[in-house]
Structure 1
Amino acid sequence: MTVSKTTSSDWWRGCVVYQVYPRSYQDTSGDGIGDIRGIIERLDHIASLGVDAIWLSPFFKSPMADFGYDVSDYCDVDPMFGMLSDFDELVGKAHERGLKIIIDQVISHSSDQHDWFKESRSSRDNPKADWYIWADPKPDGTAPNNWLSIFGGPAWEWDTVRHQYYMHNFLASQPDLNFHNPDVQNAILDTFRFWLDRGVDGFRLDTVNFYFHDRHLRDNPPLSKATEDGNFMGVDAPDVNPYGYQDHLYDKSQPENVVFLQRLRALLNQYEGRTTVGEVGDGRRSLKTVAAYTSGGDKLHMCYTFDMLSAEFSAEHFRRSISNFQSVVDDGWVCWSFSNHDVERHVTRWLQEGDDQDHLARFAITLLASFWGSICLYQGEELGLGEAHVDYKDLVDPYGIRFWPAYKGRDGCRTPMVWEKQAVNAGFSDAVRTWLPVPDDHRLQAVDQQDHLSGSVLNHYRQTLAFRKSHPVMIDGPMSFLDTNGNLMAFVRGEGSERLLFVFNFERAPVDWTPPSDLKIGDVLTLPGFAPAYEDGSVRLQALDAFCAKLG
C-alpha cells in the first residue's frame, strides 16, 4: 500500500496523538476533578514527549451520568472544567508548542438534559418531536424490538409523557439522536462549525458507526460465536454482557451513515489542515466498516478498531490485525492504540508472571511506534502505569457498577495522573478527596521519579518517538511482513532505496532469527532500550527484544 508524503494539510498521516482524560489530568480548582487550566499547566510535559496532537475527552456541559459522554450543550464548556476562554487559551498555547487539538465529539446520542430532548419528549407534535428515536410499544406493551443497550438491559426506555419508547444504546439518560432527520444532521454540523471556528484541528468521533438505525426497527439476529474456520469472533462488549449475543445488523452501521460522513468531510474541507478519527466498534464487520468510512478521500480521514485493545499479545495477532487492515482497507488510513479510557491498561492486559512491567512498557511503545499508520497514546502509559485497583465502594463508572464483580468497569484506567511521588494526591489535586482515588503504587512511577532518569519508561517514550520522527519511512512508509519462526514478527518499513528492517521477539526467552538471503543488512540501528546481537548474518534477540537495521 502506497501513501503520500505528509504535508501541512495531511499532518495526521503517521502522527502521534496523546489522549488526555480531563477529569484525571490536573486539578487547579481544588475540587478533586481535573480541568482545562490543569491541562494548560501540563502542556510542557505533553510537548516533551514528542507527540503531534492532543485528543481531549469530552469537556462539554453535561450532567456527568457517563462522565461527559452525555452532552447537554455541544457548544459550551462544563463549569467543572472551566470556561470557553480557558479552552481558547488551551488551543492557543498548544499551537505555540506545535501541538494540534483534537476534541471528542459524542453525537450519536445526547444527554436527556439537552434542550433538544426536553422539547422532543414534551409531545408528539412539537418541532423537535422527531429529533430522537421514538417508537410505539408492541400490543402487549413491551419494547419495539430486541435491541440491547451496551450498558445493560433493553435499548428502549418508556416515556410517560409521549407514551412511547425512546432508544438508547448506552444509559437510559443518553437518548439516541435520529440522524434520519436532516434537521438533526444540520444542527450537529453546526456544532462542528462552532469548534472549527475556535481553531480546533480535528475530531475524534465517538461510536461513529452508531449514528443511524434501521428505519424498520427489525430485530437483530443472534450472533454465531464461531467463524467458518472455527475461530471465535470478537464482540464489542465483555463476555458478561448479553449485548455480545446479538449480531448487530440493524441498530448500527447502516448505509445512510456514509452520506452523512461525506457531509461532515465537506464541512472540514472548508478549513485548512483539519482531521477526523472515528471509533468503529462493529465486531466481525469492523474492517469493512472502516473501509467504507475512509475510502475515496471524501469521508473520514482515519479510523481505529478494537483489534489492539484486547488481551491477545502475540506476533501472529499483531501481524494479522495489520495485514487484515491492509487487505480490506484499500485507500484508507488507520490509527493504532494499545490503551484508552475504556479498556484495561495494556501493560496489565499483557503482563505475565515473571515479566518486568517497565520492560514490557518499553517493548510495547517501541512496537507501536514502528507500525504503519498513525498512533495514539493514553495518558499515564508514558509512565508505564498498570490498571489501578478500585474498591467497589469507590466505583463511579455505571458500566462497572452494573456488571460487577465479573467486570469491574473503566475506573481502573481513569484514576488521576501522578506527577509528584510525595505530594498530596501525587500532585494531581489539593482536594481532601479526588473523584477517583490516587493509587499508592502509581506514586512510585510519578513523573518526578522518572523525568531525569535515563532508563525510565518516560524517557524511553521520548527517545522512541524521537527515533520515529528521525526516520521518515516510519511516518508514512509502507509496511511489508517477512516470514519468521516462532513468536517473532519481522517487517520492512519503506520502499526503494530507503528501507528499515524491524524484528520483535514476543517470547519470554531468547530466539535466533536469520533474515532471508535476499535481504542485504546494512547498518544496525540502536533502538532506544534494546541491544540484540547481530553476528554472521543472524540476529540473537533476548526476551521481549527488538532489532532494527537499514537495508541495502
Structure 2
Amino acid sequence: MSGIHTGNTNAEWWRNGVIYQIYPRSFCDANGDGIGDLPGICQKLDYVKSLGVDAIWISPFFKSPMADFGYDVSDYRDVDPIFGTLEDFDRVIEKAHELGLKVIIDQILSHTSDQHPWFEESRQNRDNPKADWYVWADAKADGSAPNNWMSNFGGSAWRWCTRRRQYYLTNFLKEQPDLNLHNPEVQEQLLADLRFWLDRGVDGFRLDAINHAFHNRSLQDNPPRPVKLDNNGLPPVNSYEYQWHIHDKSQPENLVFLQRVRALQEEYPGTMTVGEVGDDNTHKIMAEYTTENRLNMAYSFDLLSENCSAQFLRDTLEKNRQVIEEGWPCWSISNHDVPRSFTRWNKGFDNETAMARAPMYLLMQLMLRGSVCLYQGEELGLPEADVAFEDLQDPYGINLWPEFKGRDGCRTPMPWFNGGEINAGFSKVKPWLPVAEEHYHLAASVQEDDQHSMLNRFRDLLQWHGTLSPALATADQTIVETGDDLLVFERNSDAESYFVVLNLGHEPAAFALPEKFAGSEDITPSGFGGSVNGAQITLPVAGARVFFKK
C-alpha cells in the first residue's frame, strides 16, 4: 500500500492523516484469557498496515482496577497484566515503526483510579503530602454536596469520604477522583509521566476528556439548562444534561497547562497531541485548544451524534470553519463511547443502502479539512451489537438501563475469521463481551478476497486518498448551502481546488457543477455511481463525486 501519507515522516504527518483506533480489550486475544492484549495487537499490525492508515491510537492499557476499563488509571507508567508487559508494549512500538505506522496512546490527565497510590495517600487526612492532589471540598452546613455539579454518568459529581469528612470531585464514576491540576506538583508529575512514554518511543497522545482537567476553584453552581423533551414528552435520562457546564470544566487555566504539554512535546520532534473535548460550545474550545502552541488537534462529539442529516453536517462544518480558523480538527464518526456509525447513521435505510453509505462517509471524512480517526471494525461495516443485560460490562449502561444501554454494543470483539473458528477468531475462550452473531459473516477473512467488500472499499479509498496532492492538507474549506439532502463543499488552495458532492438522502439527486469548476477533472474513486453530463451531476442514493482543478 503506497501513498504520501502512510509512513509519512514529516513533522506534521498528522495533518490530514488517518488514525486507526484500537480498543485493546476487544481487538485480539493472544494469551487465551478472553481479553485482547498487546501481543494480540502486535499480531494484527500487518492487517492494520494493509488498510493504508498512518497511525494507531491504542486506548488505555495501563494498570487499572478496570472500573471504567482502563480509564481509571492506578499506575501511569506500567501495563496492566491483562494486557501484557512493558516489554510487550515496546514490541508493539518496534513493529509499528518497522511498518511505518505511528503509535498514539491515551493519557488520562483529569482523574485517576481511587486505587491509585496518590489518592490512597490523599484520602488519609487533610495534611499529608498529597492532601491537595485531588479536588476536596467541605460539605454545606446541612451536610449536602458542595455544589450542584453532576457526573457525566449521572447523579452528583461529589462523593463523601469518611476519613477526611469531606467530599471529593468525580466527573465520571465514583471510582475516578478528579486530580487537582491547580496544584503545581500535580502538573509536574503528569508532565513527567508523559515524558516516560515519549522516551519509550510513542509518537503522540490522545488526551482523554482534556477540558475536564481544571475546575473553577470558586465551586460556583452551574446554571440550569433548558430541558429538551424526547418524543414521549419526557426529560433527559442523564441528569448531566440539565445544566450548562460553566464551572466544572473548560477553565482558562487549562490553556496555560496545554502550552506546557506542547513545550514538552516539542522536545520530541514529530510527535503530536489530539484532545477529546466535550463541551456546550465545542467549536470554541477546539479553536482555543489547537492554537497558540497548545494541542495539534482536537475532536468533539458533534459527529458522534445521532443526527447525520445534510443540514446538520453543513451547519456543524460551517460553524467549525468559522470558529477554528488556524486550529485543526480531527473528524471521527465512531469510537468506543457511542453506537457504531453503521447503525447510528443509517436509520431508515435498508442494509444494502447502509453498506453503500459507509464508504460515502469515509470519503466525506477524507475530503474534509482536518484529520481522520477510524474506529476498529468500521472498515468491516460492523453494526452496533445488541448486548443482553446479563452480558453488560459497562457501568454507565448498567446504571442507566434500560433507557440507556451503555457502550458495550460498540465494544464487542473484532471478528477475524468465520470458518468454524470459535468466537470469530478473537479468542479461544469465552470473551469478556460476546462476539455479535451478526458480525460473523462480516469477519475480516470473509471480506479479504472479495474485491467489492467493505474492507476492500475502505482500502481503496485510503489508497486513493494517499495519491491526492499534499496541498489538500491545508486547503481552505467552503460549505455550499443547498438546502436539500446533498452535502457539497469545496477545498481551495492557491494552486488547486477540489469540489465534493455527496448524496445523503433517500432519493437520487442532481446538482449543477459551478462554472468555476468547468473543465475540471472527475477524480471520483470507483464504486460511487452517478453520471456527469456537461455541468449536470446526477447521483444515486449514497452516490458521490469529487472534481479536481488546478
Q: TM-score scaled to structure 1, two decimals?
A: 0.95
Q: Which residue of 1 aligns with 2:513?
A: 515
Report 1:203-282 matches (<5 A).
Answer: 203-224=205-226, 239-282=236-279
2:368 corresponds to: 371
Contact 2:321–2:477 (CA<8 Å) still a contact in 1? Answer: no
Given candidates 379, 382, 387, the residue that maps to 1:390 is 387
Cα shift at 1:7: 7.0
Secondary structure in 1 matching 2:92: helix
Q: Deviations over 1:372-422 (max 9, x none)?
A: 110000000100001000000000100000111011000000000000013
Query: Could you say which residue in structure 2 is the equivalent of 1:235?
Result: none
Q: Partner residue of 1:336?
A: 331
How has the CA–CA distance of structure 1 residues 76 and 249 changed in structure 2, closer, same or farther, with 3 Å as cutoff? same
For 2:348 and 2:125, the matched residues in 1 are separated by 59
Shift, 1:550, TM fit: 2.2
1:64 is matched with which residue?
A: 66
Deviations 1:228-269 (A, max 9, x none): xxxx9xxxxx93101010111111111111111011111111
- Corresponding residue to 1:434 among 428, 431, 434: 431
Q: CA deviation at 1:294?
A: 1.1
Q: 2:232 is matched with which residue?
A: none
In the alignment, does 2:143 pair up with 1:144? no
The answer to whether the 8 A contact 1:521-1:549 is kept is no
Give the SS at the match of 1:501.
strand
| 1:104 CA displacement | 0.4
Q: What is the DSSP-based 3-state SS (H/G/I as helix, E as strand, rest coil) of the residue aligned with 1:18? A: strand
Mapping of 1:349-364 within 5 angstroms? Answer: 349-355=344-350, 356=352, 357-364=354-361
- Aligned match of 1:110: 112
What is the aligned partner in structure 2 of residue 293 from structure 1?
Answer: 289
- Deviation at 1:522? 2.2
Is the contact made by 1:521 and 1:550 (CA closer than 8 Å) also made in structure 2?
Answer: no
AA in 1 matched with 2:186: V
**Residues in 2 aligned to 1:524 and 1:171: alpha-carbon distance in whole angstroms:** 51
Letter in structure 2 aligned against 1:264: V
8 A Cα contact 2:387 2:409, kept in partner: yes
What is the CA distance between 1:366 and its match in structure 2? Answer: 1.7
**Structure 1 unaligned blocks of 5 or more:** 227-231, 233-237
* Superposition map of 1:45-124 within 5 A: 45-124=47-126
C-alpha contact 2:524 2:544 (8 A) present in aligned 1: no
% identity of equivalent residues: 52
CA deviation digits over 1:187-214, x for unaligned, max 9? 0001000000000000000001001111
Amino acid corresponding to residue 430 of structure 1 in structure 2 = K
Measured against aligned partners, the alpha-carbon deviations of 1:320-357 in whole angstroms (never above 9, x if no partner) come to 21211111112110100100000000110122334323
Task: Give, in angstroms, the shift of residue 483 of structure 1.
Answer: 4.2
> How far off its partner does 1:475 sit?
3.2
The range that moved more, 386-395 or 367-376, is 367-376
- Range with bigger deviation, 499-508 or 15-24: 499-508
Indicate if the aligned counterparts of 1:362 and 1:529 stay in contact, CA closer than 8 A: no
Structure 2 partner of 1:487:
485
What's the offset of the Cα at 1:485? Answer: 5.6
Between the aligned partners of 2:267 and 2:495, the Cα distance in structure 1 is 37
The runs of at least 4 aligned residues of structure 1 exceeding 6 Å deviation read none
The correspondence of residues 419-498 of structure 1 with structure 2, limited to 5 A, is 419-422=416-419, 423-431=421-429, 433-472=430-469, 473-484=471-482, 486-498=484-496
Q: Which amino acid aligns with 2:288?
A: A
The letter for the 1-side match of 2:19 is V
Asked if 2 retains the 8 angstrom alpha-carbon contact of 1:106 and 1:205, the reply is: yes
1: CA distance, partners of 2:53 / 2:349 = 32
- Alpha-carbon displacement from aligned partner over 1:469-494 (angstroms, at most 9, x marks no partner): 11124433222233436211222223
Which secondary structure state, in structure 1, belongs to the residue aligned with residue 19 of structure 2? strand
The CA RMSD over aligned residues, in Å, is 1.7
**2:498 match:** 500
Secondary structure, counterpart of 1:259 in structure 2: helix
| Deviation larger for 214-223 or 352-361 | 352-361
Residue 191 of structure 1: aligned partner: 193
The SS at the match of 1:174 is coil
Q: 1:225 to 1:474 in 2, by over 3 A?
A: farther
516-525 or 164-173, which moves further after superposition? 516-525
Contact 1:294 / 1:332 at 8 angstroms: preserved in 2?
yes
Work out whether residues 372 and 478 of structure 1, in 8 Å CA contact, stay in contact via their aligned partners in 2: yes
SS in structure 1 at match of 2:241:
helix
How far 1:225 sits from its partner (Å)? 5.0
Gap change, CA 1:141 and 1:373, over 3 Å in 2: same
Is contact 2:227–2:236 with CA below 8 Å preserved after alignment?
no
Q: Say which is worse superposed, 517-526 or 259-268, in terms of deviation.
A: 517-526
- Equivalent residues, number: 536
Distance 1:333 1:7, change over 3 A: farther
**Which residue of structure 2 aligns with residue 27 of structure 1?**
29
CA contact (8 A) 2:311 2:484 kept: no
- 1:509, CA displacement in angstroms? 1.0
Work out the CA distance in 1 between the residues paired with 2:329 and 2:134. 31
- Cα shift at 1:467: 1.0
User: What is the alpha-carbon distance in structure 2 between the residues aligned to residue 75 and residue 404 of structure 1?
Assistant: 35
- Work out whether residues 204 and 279 of structure 1, in 8 Å CA contact, stay in contact via their aligned partners in 2: yes
What residue identity is the alignment partner of 2:158?
W
1:506 positional shift:
1.0
Shift of 1:120: 0.4
In 1, the alpha carbon distance for the partners of 2:380 and 2:514 equals 37
TM-score by length of 2: 0.95
Say which of 322, 326, 332 aligns to 2:321: 326
1:337 and 1:376 in contact (8 A); partners too: yes
For residues 68 and 388 of structure 1, the distance between their equivalents in structure 2, rounded to whole angstroms, comes to 21
For 1:152 and 1:242, the matched residues in 2 are separated by 5
